[in-house]
Amino acid sequence: MTDARLEPRAYDPLPLGAVKPRGWLERQLAIQADGLTGHLEECWPDVADNQWLGGERDGWERGPYYVDGLLPLAYLLDDPDLIERAETWVEAFLASQNENGWIGPAEQARDQGYEYDPWPRFVVCKVLAQYHEATGDERAVEAMLLFCDWLADALEDRPLERWGRYRWADLAVSLYWLYDRTGDERLLDLVSTAAEQGYDWGDHFADLGGYLEPYEWPDDGETDLSAHVVNNAMGLKEPAVRARLRALEGDGAAAARGIKTLDRFHGQATGLFSGDEYYGGKHPSRGTELCGVVEYMYSLEVLASITGDPRHGDRLERLAYNALPATFTSDMWAHQYDQQANQVICNVAEKDWFNGPDANVFGLAPNFGCCTANMHQGWPKLASHLWMRDGGGSDDRDESDELAIVAYAPCAVTTELDGEDVTVVEDTDYPFEDSVAFTVETDVPATFALSLRIPEWVEAATIERPGGDRETVDATGSYHRIERTWEDGDTLEIRFESPVRVERRYHGAVSVHRGPLTFAYPIEASRKQIAGERPHADWELYPDEPWNYGLELESMDSVSDGASALAASFDDPGERPFSPEGAPVELDVTGRLVPEWGLDDEFAWAESIPNGIVRSDKPAESLTLVPYGCTNLRVAEFPLLD
């Protein structure tokens, strides 16, 4: 049955724990658990002595941010120590709620001008929803309902402002989740109130609020939060979230148009948009904040669910397999605040951006601590959103007969289909290979559909069904539905034809891609410890070799975007697939040094690439490109040589 007030999602997310990581993805989550995420309370006072736990340090967003990634990581790995740590935070959240519904501390928030600021509670609601999915603890639902009572009253006297105004869609996602479980109509009334008071990102994304050039610091010092990178990353989900409530008459497709506009004016080679705090344009030396990466990923996961648009899965893979790993060291004991597409030096030095001079060093908390708190959700939420099931508007969604794959990675998904508990095991080294194999495990035959996402970047996909029948799918950028009665042990395999693609970039430069992977030239580097204690120290990185290469791409018939005849070589992903020494895929290209391109005279970054096609009389050299996510120092946008 269709809800009179609420549009159904195209696909419903599965509860936390329904998807379990395998293969390289499980190893990546274990690396995260062994790195900063699993040890942050041992080395960072902002969470160790956090006010949400009764301490003296930050009482605003950092504690909730941390748990929003810690908790799903703990349950995905079934790690008892991490689960205990996450539940300590949840118990503190629940214990802090007073009888009128307010959750958490207020004193420090008052000192900072955020007295009774609801924004961090939006994150707490996301945590409590995941906790309920993992444990079934009804106290989480009760606490969320009581907080919503407080918020409904509070917004009558003090409308949403600042961060809460721009991030209201994160609240609405939790309100919809709560409504699905309670049917409480007041929750939809609260969505309506928040939407009326909140920022309309659909209107903003039509022209980015007029910010089509790099944002400039205003004379009065009052920055426009609509140009803030993290607000934009969070805001991308807002048009679709708004459109779910019929009375709001939102335009769910505005998000896809917004992504195109961001790409056009601020896009980077990895599918990110720049934002070293605020819009930075397309210069490949401008930075993008790590919070922007993980929040963009979460918005895409929400968008994939609500809209069913497979392009959101395409973009999610690009961010997850390029931008996310590149902004960490391979052991995940250090991260950057800002990453750069052309990142040729990471040091404490002046750069022409909004953040501080240390924003691109690798460390515990470079520049500002929000990313140290918020970075943990990226990999776990990717894992938990790899598969979704048919939304369809059914009141009893457990009876859904469709599983859709949003993003490809090794995992196993278990849910009820056709009245039976069914597991689909996904074996693959994707994105480091082109094939994905599925095996169905069920006690009795079950009739359901598997919907496979066919990315836009493939030329075609070949599917081998149970019994050996093959079909070729040319409808890229779509879901391909395979419905049948599945028996235990049935297998299905999909293989993608993924040519190397060359894309024109800023100043006529080129970037190189294959499948979801962006490729970069890895620059050999020396590390210099500048602060802290190992393993959670801060590091500068300096290049040990020339990096200012242009590429010769003779296979391109013109200088426009196009496919290339370049071939890739593959290896098995090792223990750390996203590492300079463990790159599982390589591309061999020909390049020459470009003497006129080098470090900027004023700022510690690569200067602008010479505009247009470039000539060089230096000897031709064979260069090996590796996945962007396997690099620390790199060049990802190259001059195109004549």
As given in the structure block, the two tokens for residue 618 are 């230096």
**What's the confidence (pLDDT) of residue 430?**
97
Strands 11-13 and 402-405, sheet pairing: unpaired
What percent of the chain shows pLDDT beyond 90? 87
Q: Please give the residue that has the higher pLDDT: either 47 or 562.
A: 47
The one-letter amino acid code at 436 reads: V
Q: Distance between CA 407 and CA 402 in Å, rounded?
A: 16
Quick check: helix, strand or coil at residue 579?
coil
Residue 398 pLDDT class (50, 70, 90 cuts): very low
Q: Distance between CA 403 and CA 385 in Å, rounded?
A: 12
**What's the confidence (pLDDT) of residue 2?**
59
Over the chain, what is the mean pLDDT? 93
Q: Distance between CA 149 and CA 153 in Å, rounded?
A: 7
Location of structure tokens 């459109």? 243
Radius of gyration of the chain (CA): 24
Beta bridge partners of 522: 634
pLDDT higher than 70, residue 374: yes
pLDDT higher than 70, residue 557: no
pLDDT higher than 50, residue 509: yes
Share of the chain residues as helix, strand and coil, in percent rounded to the nearest 5: 35, 25, 40
604 to 120, 242, 544, 598: CA distances (angstroms) = 35, 42, 16, 10
pLDDT higher than 50, residue 286: yes
Of 328-337, 368-377, 550-559, the range with the lowest mean pLDDT is 550-559
As given in the structure block, the two tokens for residue 60 are 């605003």
Residue 564 pLDDT class (50, 70, 90 cuts): low
Quick check: helix, strand or coil at residue 113?
coil
Please compute the mean of the pLDDT values over residues 363-390 and round it to a whole number.
Answer: 97
Please compute the mean of the pLDDT values over residues 75-84 and round it to a whole number.
Answer: 98
As given in the structure block, the two tokens for residue 476 are 């890229």
The predicted-structure confidence for 240-256, as pLDDT tens digits, reads as follows 999 999 989 889 899 99
Phi, psi of 406 (to 5 degrees): -85, -40
pLDDT higher than 50, residue 409: yes
Torsion (CA) 165, 170, 172, 178 in degrees, nearest 10: -140
Residue 282 pLDDT class (50, 70, 90 cuts): very high
**What's the confidence (pLDDT) of residue 560?**
46
Beta strands in 354-434 (DSSP E): 387-390, 402-405, 411-417, 420-427
**What's the confidence (pLDDT) of residue 606?**
93
pLDDT higher than 60, residue 396: no
Q: Please give the residue that has the higher pLDDT: either 183 or 106.
A: 183
**What's the confidence (pLDDT) of residue 143?**
98
Beta carbons within 8 Å of 384's beta carbon, 6+ residues apart = 13, 14, 16, 17, 18, 19, 72, 76
**What's the confidence (pLDDT) of residue 561?**
53
pLDDT higher than 90, residue 530: yes
What percent of the chain shows pLDDT beyond 70? 95
Q: Domains of the chain: which residue ranges?
A: 39-197, 387-428+435-497, 500-638
**What's the confidence (pLDDT) of residue 571?**
82
Asked if 61 contacts 370 with a C-beta cutoff of 8 angstroms, the reply is yes
CATH architecture of 387-428+435-497: Sandwich (2.60)
The dihedral through the CA atoms of 157, 161, 164, 169 has a sign that is positive
Residue 377 pLDDT class (50, 70, 90 cuts): very high
**What's the confidence (pLDDT) of residue 574?**
86
